[in-house]
Structure 1
Amino acid sequence: MPDSDISFVSSGRPSLDYHFASMSDGDAPRLSTGSDFDTRSTGSSYSGNRSLDLSFQESCRLSSSSQNLVTEDMEAEMRRLRQELKQTMEMYSSACKEALSAKQQARELHRWRMEEEQRLEEARMSEEQALALVEKEKAKCKAALEAAEAAEKIAQFEAQKRRAAELRAIQDAEERKKAGNGLSHGGGADIRYRRYEIEEIESATKDFANNLKIGEGGYGPVYRAHLDHTPVAIKVLRPDAAQGRSQFQQEVEVLCCIRHPNMVLLLGACPEYGCLVYEYMANGSLEDRLFRRGNTPPLSWQLRFRIAAEIATGLLFLHQTKPEPLVHRDLKPGNILLDRNFVSKISDVGLARLVPPSVADSVTQYRMTSTAGTFCYIDPEYQQTGMLGVKSDIYSLGVMLLQIITAKPPMGLTHHVQRAIDKGTFEDMLDPTVPDWPVEEALRFARLALQCAELRRKDRPDLGNEVLPELNRLRMLADDVSPAGSSPLNSQSSQDVFSDLQSGYDSSRSRSSTSSYGGRR
């Protein structure tokens, strides 16, 4: 610590260092050389100087002691001040740290509070959403219960309607059966067809000569003959034919009551022996012509489009019969016959069923005890459930339409055509014997046929509103393209060839499960 000036302790007296500066060197004070003292004066001065020297020493000692005390006090005070300053600095540092810690805690507390508020808000919103979801689920549950109740009521109502329709159908069937029994015993006075005696049938067929037989099926043989100077086809019931009598009655009941250009014409019958007399169809079946049996020329695409429209027209006529729609149940190329002008006509209605109008219009289907028809053409839903409807024929029509443009067997045909369309190779599926297919129109034809052949009945188009208008459009296109007066295979020589090749009726059906005029095996 630097030395301090303590002259203030001398109570205003001048410093002794100034007066006795020469004494620090041990020299005696000089007297003026100009003074003359005597011996007494010298002795007295010496005595006074000594006393003065002692006082000075004492004073110096006291002054030094006092200075040391002051210095120590100051040093102690400085140490105390330093200690206090150190403590103050430590307290300040501690206070700063505490302040920083408190500030950090305040920030943490604020952040925690904000997070808590956010969590509370999220929890509140989640609760509101949960409540809204619960309300929504309650509403859904209520709606589902109401829908289930409504569906149950509708199902009960439909079941009642179906039971009533089935009951009416049973009653109608019994009435028709009674009428058929009266017919078989010659009591049918209101039947609109000609009755032939068995002698007339035997004479026309030359006692059922084999050279006049043009086909045979499960129902029995078919003969070509002439009655009343008119070429006819006579289908004869075989005695051991399964369900032959019921099919005979059904075909008589249906064909004697309807007349349409695209339905084969029933000319007469011999009910005692189960003989049916039809108009003769010179160009045989559509199946024979598509597969060119007997090496016959191929059908042109114009003729195929026209035949398709005619088939749909005849089928719509069956579905619109009054008072009850008629379902064919066995529609296929073998049951489509072609006359000398290649006009197509639907035949073989032995499996046809009258569906009550309430069923056809409201319930849309009618349960049968057993399915009937030809494999590959039977409606899958009808085959699985026995539920019959007018759209059961639409499936068969779809498969047949695909055969008309491809001339291929029905097995898996819908799958092959759909795959070819997807792969862009549809043109390869068309009948190669026709060189000038309008591919775009044929593709539209195929798409329509695939819609008709949908597995689910509800996915199939309506015959009158969707299918027939498109087929009529294609027929008009074919008529516009065809040269006037030209028709494939329309010469008389061709007709004679077909007649000699057993082209009518059952030549092809003998190789399938059912036949056109020949029934089923």
Structure 2
Amino acid sequence: MVVRESEEKKRTLNSLAHGDIRYRKYSIEEIEIATENFAENRKIGEGGYGPVFKGFLDHTPVAIKVLRPDAAQGRSQFQQEIEILCCIRHPNMVLLLGACPEFGCLVYEYMANGSLEDRLFRRGNTPPIPWQQRFVIAAEIGTGLLFLHQTKPEPLVHRDLKPANILLDRNYGSKISDVGLARLVPPSYQQTGMLGTKSDVYSLGIMLLQIITAKPPMGLTHHVERSIERGTFKEMLDPTVLDWPVEEALSLAEVALKCAELRRKDRPDLSKVVLPELNRLRGIAEDNMQPYIMGINNNYTQPRHSQVSAQDMLSGPLAGQSGYDSGPSSSYTTGKATSDV
């Protein structure tokens, strides 16, 4: 069984990569120059398998993930991250620009506003994210996740979807990161239900609740459910946002709670149920966008993802903020005591 699953995984990976993994290869000398020999002041985070540095390659700010020599598990994750990321391109997925495979370095686009987790919890005393942008972020995450799940020939399951693994660009456009633990799901897994896309749907539900409450995940579904039953849902919303549209926020909470059902079979379909509702709410949010909504960047008028120049990114609002701290993967199922993930 294990051998067969291993062979299936290998075949699907090979098929996904079309037998030829293409990415920009950087030399270790280029990486050292870009990071000033891995200077401490260039360090912007500490991932589960090594540090992350901000650097400059090809006149572009980048984030360079460096695998620690002792991270044996990280070596296989590193190779899988290359195999997956070099083959996928989507505006809501963090872009892999290249790698230095001999020394275990992955080069990503630099995301100026760090992680969604840091911004929700306002680390560094950053301003609260307006409700309009939160609704947009929710839809973007759902869109990126559906893209992963629709990967051919087999779906990709992220397995570690959480606010710390959602990175934000200078316009607060959101992208899913840290796909090194993602798994292609071979037919044998899909049939047994041991691992599937519905596990990501659960994590998405918990994260949607965090987006509107800015609260930790532990017990969050229970607290939100009780607040709805008692008619005190408004009190659960992040109080740093003063103009919540409560009816729409409740709609988001209700779809999130459905996603976080304990039994897989009770969770809704991402493409047919969840994403249409997230896009409906996104439309309402964009109709209510205010100029300079973030209160940080005077050039901010467009919420959608956009390509920006290196100079724009250098002058981004949170260029010194870290959004790249991420520990080793742990199952993100803390919304309820137990879950049939």
- Compute the TM-score of the two structures, normalised by the length of structure 2: 0.87
The answer to whether residue 132 in structure 2 is matched with residue 286 in structure 1 is no
The answer to whether residue 157 in structure 2 is matched with residue 321 in structure 1 is no
In the aligned structure 2, how far is the partner of 1:178 from the partner of 1:420? 48
The structure with the greater share of residues assigned to helix is 1
Classify the secondary structure of the residue corresponding to 1:235.
strand
The answer to whether residue 285 in structure 2 is matched with residue 478 in structure 1 is yes
Identical amino acids, percent of aligned pairs: 72
What is the total number of aligned residue pairs between the two structures?
316
| Contact residue 329 and residue 392 of structure 1 kept, 8 A | yes
| Contact residue 129 and residue 294 of structure 2 kept, 8 A | no
In the aligned structure 1, how far is the partner of 2:173 from the partner of 2:129? 12
In the aligned structure 2, how far is the partner of 1:486 from the partner of 1:434? 12
Classify the secondary structure of the residue corresponding to 1:388.
coil
Deviations 1:388-417 (A, max 9, x none): 011010000000000000000011111111
The answer to whether residue 329 in structure 2 is matched with residue 499 in structure 1 is no
Classify the secondary structure of the residue corresponding to 1:299.
coil
1:170 aligned residue = 6
Deviations 1:37-73 (A, max 9, x none): xxxxxxxxxxxxxxxxxxxxxxxxxxxxxxxxxxxxx
Classify the secondary structure of the residue corresponding to 2:103.
coil
In the aligned structure 2, how far is the partner of 1:416 from the partner of 1:406? 11
In the aligned structure 1, how far is the partner of 2:112 from the partner of 2:147? 23
In the aligned structure 1, how far is the partner of 2:242 from the partner of 2:97? 40
| Contact residue 364 and residue 389 of structure 1 kept, 8 A | no
In the aligned structure 1, how far is the partner of 2:179 from the partner of 2:29? 26
2:89 aligned residue = 259
In the aligned structure 1, how far is the partner of 2:42 from the partner of 2:25? 22
Check 1:469–1:314 CA distance in 2 against 1; reply closer, same or farther (3 A cut). same
2:335 aligned residue = none
In the aligned structure 2, how far is the partner of 1:497 from the partner of 1:303? 16
Tell me how large the CA RMSD over aligned residues is.
2.5
Check 1:364–1:326 CA distance in 2 against 1; reply closer, same or farther (3 A cut). farther
Alignment of 1:383-398 (within 5 A): 387-398=194-205
CA drift at 1:214 = 0.3
In the aligned structure 1, how far is the partner of 2:150 from the partner of 2:37? 40
Which stretches in structure 2 are left out of the alignment for 5+ residues? 300-311, 331-341
CA drift at 1:241 = 1.6
In the aligned structure 2, how far is the partner of 1:296 from the partner of 1:485? 15
| Contact residue 325 and residue 357 of structure 1 kept, 8 A | no
Name which structure has the greater RCO, CA cutoff 8 Å, separation 6+: 2
1:414 aligned residue = 221
In the aligned structure 2, how far is the partner of 1:178 from the partner of 1:260? 20
In the aligned structure 1, how far is the partner of 2:61 from the partner of 2:165? 19
2:38 aligned residue = 208
Give the aligned residue type for 2:49: Y
In the aligned structure 1, how far is the partner of 2:139 from the partner of 2:148? 14
Give the aligned residue type for 2:318: F
Q: 2:103 is matched with which residue: 256, 273, 276?
A: 273
Check 1:178–1:302 CA distance in 2 against 1; reply closer, same or farther (3 A cut). closer
Alignment of 1:300-449 (within 5 A): 300-357=130-187, 360=190, 363=191, 365=193, 387-449=194-256
Check 1:206–1:300 CA distance in 2 against 1; reply closer, same or farther (3 A cut). same
2:302 aligned residue = none
Deviations 1:321-344 (A, max 9, x none): 001100000000000000111110
Classify the secondary structure of the residue corresponding to 2:180.
coil
In the aligned structure 2, how far is the partner of 1:305 from the partner of 1:497? 21
The answer to whether residue 52 in structure 2 is matched with residue 222 in structure 1 is yes
Deviations 1:230-255 (A, max 9, x none): 11000000011240101101111110
CA drift at 1:218 = 2.1
Give the aligned residue type for 2:39: A
| Contact residue 62 and residue 107 of structure 2 kept, 8 A | yes
| Contact residue 5 and residue 188 of structure 2 kept, 8 A | no
CA drift at 1:174 = 4.3
In the aligned structure 1, how far is the partner of 2:195 from the partner of 2:189? 9
In the aligned structure 2, how far is the partner of 1:320 from the partner of 1:168? 23
Alignment of 1:69-80 (within 5 A): none
In the aligned structure 1, how far is the partner of 2:151 from the partner of 2:13? 20
In the aligned structure 1, how far is the partner of 2:4 from the partner of 2:128? 47
| Contact residue 67 and residue 104 of structure 2 kept, 8 A | yes
Check 1:346–1:178 CA distance in 2 against 1; reply closer, same or farther (3 A cut). closer
In the aligned structure 2, how far is the partner of 1:171 from the partner of 1:421? 48
Deviations 1:80-112 (A, max 9, x none): xxxxxxxxxxxxxxxxxxxxxxxxxxxxxxxxx
| Contact residue 12 and residue 186 of structure 2 kept, 8 A | no
Give the aligned residue type for 2:42: L
CA drift at 1:505 = 1.6
1:250 aligned residue = 80
Give the aligned residue type for 2:6: I
Q: Which stretch shifts more, 448-457 or 236-245?
A: 236-245
Classify the secondary structure of the residue corresponding to 2:108.
strand
1:466 aligned residue = 273
Which stretches in structure 1 are left out of the alignment for 5+ residues? 1-162, 366-386, 516-521
| Contact residue 318 and residue 327 of structure 1 kept, 8 A | yes
| Contact residue 12 and residue 153 of structure 2 kept, 8 A | no
1:71 aligned residue = none
In the aligned structure 2, how far is the partner of 1:217 from the partner of 1:358? 31
